[in-house]
Amino acid sequence: MMQKLLPLILFFSLAPSWLAASPMLTSQQVTAVVKQTLEPLLAQQAIPGMSVAVLYKGRTQFVNFGVASLESRRVVTENTIFELGSVSKNFTGVLAGVLVRQGELRLNDPVKKYWPALSGPQWQTISMLHLATYTAGNLPLQLPDTVTDEDSLRNYYQQWQPQAAPGTTRQYSNASIGLFGHLMVKGSFEAAMQKHVFQPLRLTRTFITVPKSMMFDYAWGYKDKQPIRVSPGMLDAEAYGVKTTARDMLTFMQANANPNGLSSGNTVLRNAILTSQSRYFKTGSMYQGLGWEMYDWPVKAQTVADASDNSVALKAQPTERLLPVRPPVRAAWIHKTGATRGFGAYIAFIPDQNTGIVMLANKNYPNPERVKAAFKILAALQ
């Protein structure tokens, strides 16, 4: 069967854009494309298990690989719970969009409005948008280990000194978007996420704190062949704390790829998604949304892969503020990588093709490999 499919797969992977209206591949052919691409990657990277959700011109399916636990040998399914790492930032961005639409958050407000204790002169011109887009002045990737409570959190930010003027450089930072999420919500961040995002989208297996009743389905991540899960920390929920399944992530991707498809009762959420995919800054060819990173489509796989490499992605880079804010663009590659010490996640979609992919693995592996694999699969599905 595979030998018969290879010419078809090669044809679609090399097909020019004028063949975009070619006949739909069958679900079996889609599965073959996914397996042909990912089975060698899993072997090369020694990934125990992966759950993949595919959105193909509006049609959905799952392809699962390997095990959720090397000890129990429990197989991965689309209902296996994985850690998202920084893909969680997209949920934070959508929640921010809800609060903006409800009038509880203004992105251009100064940070000190939401935390008056930050009285240092460095905070006078830093806005909530700067925190959300990593442009406050080069906040670090992580908070120091000494920051363990609200008092030490306040002391850290009060003493922090920017290395660049707000809005002039972008440096990817959990300490930046984490503080944004922490300050934008009055009360529990987890409760707000549940109320405004998880429940309206009916994400029934998506959590910040995995309940005891779901622990059986919570995969173990692996580092150096040892089982591991994410440890609690300050601002973890806001920056990298979501755990979920490929099934729920498919629902989340569908909503983001086609927000107009949400029910009429979800007007606020629909507009919130548009807010999260608006373009606020431009760094090279990448546009920064609220969590989402976006490129005009078409874009070369190598361009996105190079930008996702930690040697580039974690460095401070000159950035340009877009005024006025650019609206979402449907002809775009919209994506986000994420990782914890034991998990690696990736989501990418092209709205105007209603096509995308979610890849959830229980091992952290290089971002460029995720990007290149996703491009190869989606190229074969165009």
Strand partners, 242: none
pLDDT at 382: 83
Q: In this predicted model, what pLDDT tens digit does every residue of 256-279 receive, in sequence order?
A: 999 999 988 899 999 999 999 999
Is the pLDDT reported for residue 7 higher than 50? no
DSSP annotation string for 78-137: TT-BEE-GGGHHHHHHHHHHHHHHTTS--TTSBHHHH-TT--SGGGTT-BHHHHHTT-SS
> What per-residue confidence (pLDDT) applies to 265?
85
**Predicted confidence (pLDDT) at residue 13 exceeds the cutoff of 70:** no
Range in 13-22, 87-96, 267-276, 350-359 the model is least confident about: 13-22
- The residues carrying an active-site annotation are 86, 172
Question: What are the CA-CA distances from residue 341 to residues 2, 228, 327, 363 (Å)?
Answer: 35, 7, 35, 8
Residue given tokens 């006078």 in the structure block: 124
**pLDDT tens digit string along 56-100?**
999 999 999 999 999 999 999 999 999 999 999 999 999 999 999
Residues 6+ apart with CB under 8 A from 331: 296, 297, 350, 351, 352
> Using CA atoms, how far apart are residues 152 and 237, in angstroms rounded to an integer?
18
Identify the H or E element spanning 308: helix 301-308
Instruction: Work out the mean pLDDT of the chain and round it to a whole number.
Output: 94
* Residue carrying the six token digits 């959190």: 153
Q: What is the pLDDT of residue 2?
A: 37
Sheet holding 59-66, edge to edge: 59-66, 49-56, 355-361, 344-350, 332-339, 293-296, 286-288, 279-283, 320-326
Contact 193, 99 (CB under 8 A): no
Query: Given this model, what pLDDT does residue 6 score?
Result: 42
Closest CA to 303 of 382, 371, 379, 381: 371
CA-atom Rg of the chain in angstroms: 20
Percent of the chain with pLDDT over 90: 93
| pLDDT score of 11 | 36
**What pLDDT score was predicted for residue 264?**
83
Nearest CA to 345 out of 330, 318, 329, 365 is that of 365
pLDDT value at residue 21: 55
The pLDDT of residue 1: 39
* pLDDT of 323: 97
At residue 170, what is the residue type?
R
Q: What is the pLDDT of residues 160-173, one digit of tens each?
A: 999 999 999 999 99
Q: Which of 295, 318, 297 is nearest to 306 (CA)?
A: 295
pLDDT tens digit string along 205-250? 999 999 999 999 999 999 999 999 999 999 999 999 999 999 999 9
How do residues 314-344 score in pLDDT, each as one tens digit? Answer: 999 999 999 999 999 999 999 999 999 999 9
**String of DSSP letters for 54-69:** EEETTEEEEEEEEBS-
pLDDT-derived band at 9 (thresholds 50, 70, 90) equals: very low
- The superfamily in CATH containing domain 2-380 is DD-peptidase/beta-lactamase superfamily (3.40.710.10)
Assigned token pair, 316: 């401070």
Please measure the distance between the N-terminal and C-terminal CA atoms of the chain and give it in whole angstroms: 22
Of the chain, the percentage scoring pLDDT greater than 70 comes to 94
Question: With 60 as the cut, is the pLDDT of residue 20 above it?
Answer: no
Which residue did the predictor score with more confidence, 18 or 137? 137
What's the confidence (pLDDT) of residue 23? 85
What pLDDT does residue 232 have?
93
Those residues whose C-beta lies under 8 Å from the C-beta of residue 53, and which sit 6 or more positions away, are: 60, 61, 62, 78, 246, 247, 249, 250, 253, 357, 358
